[in-house]
Amino acid sequence: MTEDDKASSRTYRIANVAVPARPLEPALYLVATPIGNLGDMTLRALETLAGADVLACEDTRVTRVLLDRFGITGRPYAYHEHNANEVGPKLIKALEEGKSVALVSDAGTPLVSDPGYRLGQLAIEAGHRVVPIPGPSAPLAALVGSGLPADAFLFAGFLPVKEKGRRDRLAELSKIPATLIFFESPHRISDTVRIAADVLGPARAACVCRELTKTFEEFRRGTLGELSLYYDDERMVKGEIVLVIGPPAFDDIPAALDVDIMLRELALSMPATKAAAEAARLTGLSRKDLYQRLIELKDDDGG
C-alpha cells in the first residue's frame, strides 16, 4: 500500500461524509468508546481510531460494529486477558518502532476494570507517551443519573463472588464518607442489594442503574431495604448494571477520639497488626492508617 493509499484509508464518516484523520504522533492512545448508544462516540475518538497505525481491542467483533458504523476500515487486533502476555510486548514493540497504538475496550474507558491496565503500565515503564482520549464512562453516567451525592465518590469495581467476600468488602467500605460505585451482574444483583442492606443498613440510599444509554435504560432509586425487597421479587433481571450506594450518615462516621479509644482497647488483648485489622473491620477505615495511628498512640503513651 502506498502512502497515498494509507492516507485515503485513514478516514471516518459522519452522515455519509468522509473526514480525513490527521496523522498521530507515536504514543499509546486510550480511547473511550460508547457504553451503549453509539451516538456518544466523540469526534476526537473517531479521528484517533481512524488515524492510528495499530488498533488493539478487547473483542474484534464488538469493535468491528463500532468501526463499521463510522466507516473506519482499519483492522483491529485482539488484546485481552487471555493473550495479554503474548500481544502486549508486540504492541510495545510497535511503539518502539515509532508507531501510534490505539487501545479500546468493549465499552467505556480502557483500563477501568479491564486488562488494558497492564498495557498502560508496560508503555509507561518503557518510557512511551500515554494519551487518554476521554469519553463515555459507566461509573460516571451511573453516578450523575442516580441523584446521589457526587462531591466525593469511590469506584470499587466488582464485589467478590462469594457471599462472605462481599460482606467483608462492604464492611471495609461501610464508613467511607463517599458515594460507592460497583459493577454488578444481573443474576447477582438481588443477593448483592440484600447483603448490602444487611451490612450497610436498610436505610442507606442507593440506585440500581441498568442498561445505561440504551433503549431500556433504568434508574431504580430507593433505600437498600426497598431495593432488596424489589429485587427479591424481581429475579429475572437483564442487562448490564451499576450499583450506586450513597455515603453513610454523618453520625455513622466514627469520631477520631472514638477511634483512638477503640484502638487502645483492642491493643490490650492483641498485637498491633491484629488490633488495626479488627478496628478496620469495625469502622470501615483503612487498616494501614489505623495501624499507623496505633503506633503513634503507643509512642505518645510511652509504650
Summarised one tens digit per residue, pLDDT across range 214-259 is 999 999 999 999 999 999 876 678 999 999 999 987 555 566 777 8
Rounded CA Rg of the chain: 24
Give the three-state DSSP class for 199: helix
Question: Are β-strands 153-158 and 179-184 bridged in parallel, bridged antiparallel, or unpaired?
Answer: parallel
Helices (H), ranges, 10-76: 43-51, 60-69
Whole-number pLDDT of residue 250: 58
Whole-number pLDDT of residue 2: 45
**Rounded Cα–Cα distance for residues 168 and 262 (Å):** 20
Residue ranges for the chain with pLDDT beneath 70 = 1-8, 112-115, 234-235, 250-255, 284, 302-303
Give the cell for residue 287: 487498616
Terminal CA-CA length for the chain: 75
Whole-number pLDDT of residue 24: 95
Give the cell for residue 54: 495499530
* 124 Cβ neighbours under 8 A, 6+ residues apart: 130
